[in-house]
């Protein structure tokens, strides 16, 4: 695997950073994951805009434009073609290494810019009888109140994911102290009720997911499935006809079991199949 680190391409296993890097010491950085299918990215511009927004929010200066990123990442994808046709790209910009460990943002430190590519699964078939259905659990969301920032400090997410994983679940839905759905530990969440697609509004309690955005915008452009962004209670989640979890690596993943109980009739839903077809037809337009 060929990686990119601070202006150079090199074998991933030779890439080195300082132990004083603030990404290592504090989780002081921003990351992105972008899927490439057959060399074509899904949502490159919105992904890199989200990264620029995150970097601005924590005052890290990285002067690469979306166009600079497009060229760099195309190059990285080409250099990793031997890994397969479908690759994910992980991009990490940390504040960089100071000469001491000190909480305040240092001045005159160059950010560390790192990227590498890794194989990802083929998309699921657009067929409710053949796709993989997830079994998930749920728990109260104990992360911080700035979940809109795609911080590399992921311990809260990692601990929640592990909670689900340890009980044999592929993801864990999270809800706030008012019993309202926020998202999942590494995905956004949607429900379907009476043919309507509903997802929590985007605020400080969840990540502004690019897959989420592409789904909402594709469904609105298509017009055949109503979609709504609003508060969703866990009672609504437990009584939903369908539940989906969405991310760049999962695309739209149907959930067939929540906390040991079937979702709807326990099978992957027809609205999932219709929505996933619409998403699949339009995903490269973003
Ligand atoms: N929410 C969290 C906490 C995530 O970590 C992710 C992605 O990894 C998402 C949502 C989905 O975001 P995206 O669709 O941009 O991959």
Domains defined along the chain, listed by start: 2-119 (3.30.470.10), 134-285 (3.20.10.10)
Question: How many CB atoms lie under 10 A from the CB of residue 65?
Answer: 10
Summary mean pLDDT of the chain: 98
Task: Point out the catalytic residue in the list 64, 150, 250, 283.
Answer: 150
Cα-to-centroid distance, 33 and ligand 1 (Å): 9
**Nearest protein Cα to ligand 1, atom 1:** 187
Task: Return d(Cα 150, Cα 172) in angstroms, integer.
Answer: 18
Here the tokens at position 13 are: 């296993």
Can 150 be counted among the known catalytic residues?
Answer: yes
pLDDT in tens, 145-176: 999 999 999 999 999 999 999 999 999 999 99
Task: Return d(Cα 157, Cα 23) in angstroms, integer.
Answer: 17
**Nearest protein Cα to ligand 1, atom 9:** 187
**Nearest protein Cα to ligand 1, atom 4:** 186
Cα-to-centroid distance, 162 and ligand 1 (Å): 16
State the residue for tokens 């037809």.
281
Return the SS3 of 163.
helix
For ligand 1, what atom is nearest to the CA of residue 147?
Answer: 3
| Phi/psi-derived region of residue 194, left when phi > 0, alpha when psi is between -120 and 50, beta in every other case | left
Task: Return d(Cα 9, Cα 119) in angstroms, integer.
Answer: 18
Count of all residues that appear for the chain in the document: 286
Q: How confident is the model at residue 235, as a pLDDT? A: 98
Cα-to-centroid distance, 186 and ligand 1 (Å): 5
Nearest CA to 40 among 113, 125, 123, 128?
A: 123
- Global ipTM: 0.99
pLDDT in tens, 180-214: 999 999 999 999 999 999 999 999 999 999 999 99
Q: In which band, very low, low, confident or very high, does the pLDDT at 71 lie, cut at 50, 70 and 90? A: very high
Cα-to-centroid distance, 259 and ligand 1 (Å): 22
When pLDDT is averaged across residues 119-132 and rounded to a whole number, the result is 96
Q: In which band, very low, low, confident or very high, does the pLDDT at 134 lie, cut at 50, 70 and 90? A: very high
Q: In which band, very low, low, confident or very high, does the pLDDT at 29 lie, cut at 50, 70 and 90? A: very high
């Amino acid at each position: 695997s060929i990686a990119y680190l601070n202006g150079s391409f090199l074998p991933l296993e030779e890439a080195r950073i300082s132990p004083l890097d603030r990404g290592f010491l504090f989780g002081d950085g921003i990351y992105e994951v972008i899927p490439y299918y057959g060399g074509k990215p899904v949502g490159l511009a919105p992904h890199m805009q989200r990264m620029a927004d995150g970097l601005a929010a924590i005052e890290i200066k990285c002067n690469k434009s979306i166009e600079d990123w497009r060229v760099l990442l195309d190059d990285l994808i080409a250099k990793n073609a031997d890994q397969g046709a479908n690759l994910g790209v992980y991009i990490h910009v940390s504040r960089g290494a100071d000469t001491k460990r000190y909480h305040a943002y240092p001045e005159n430190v160059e950010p560390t810019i790192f990227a590498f590519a890794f194989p990802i699964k083929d998309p699921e078939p657009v067929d409710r009888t053949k796709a993989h259905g997830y079994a998930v659990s749920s728990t109260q969301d104990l992360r911080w109140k700035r979940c809109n920032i795609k911080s590399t400090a992921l311990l809260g997410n990692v601990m929640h994911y592990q909670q689900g994983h340890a009980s044999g679940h592929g993801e864990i839905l999270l809800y706030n102290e008012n019993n309202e759905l926020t998202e999942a530990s590494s995905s956004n969440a949607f429900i379907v009720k009476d043919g309507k697609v509903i997802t929590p509004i985007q605020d400080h309690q969840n990540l502004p997911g690019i897959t989420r955005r592409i789904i909402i915008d594709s469904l609105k452009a298509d017009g055949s499935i109503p979609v709504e962004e609003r508060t969703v209670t866990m009672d609504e989640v437990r009584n939903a006809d369908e539940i989906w979890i969405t991310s760049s690596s999962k695309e739209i993943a149907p959930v067939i079991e929540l906390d040991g109980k079937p979702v709807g009739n326990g099978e992957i839903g027809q609205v999932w199949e219709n929505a996933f077809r619409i998403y699949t037809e339009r995903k490269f337009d973003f």
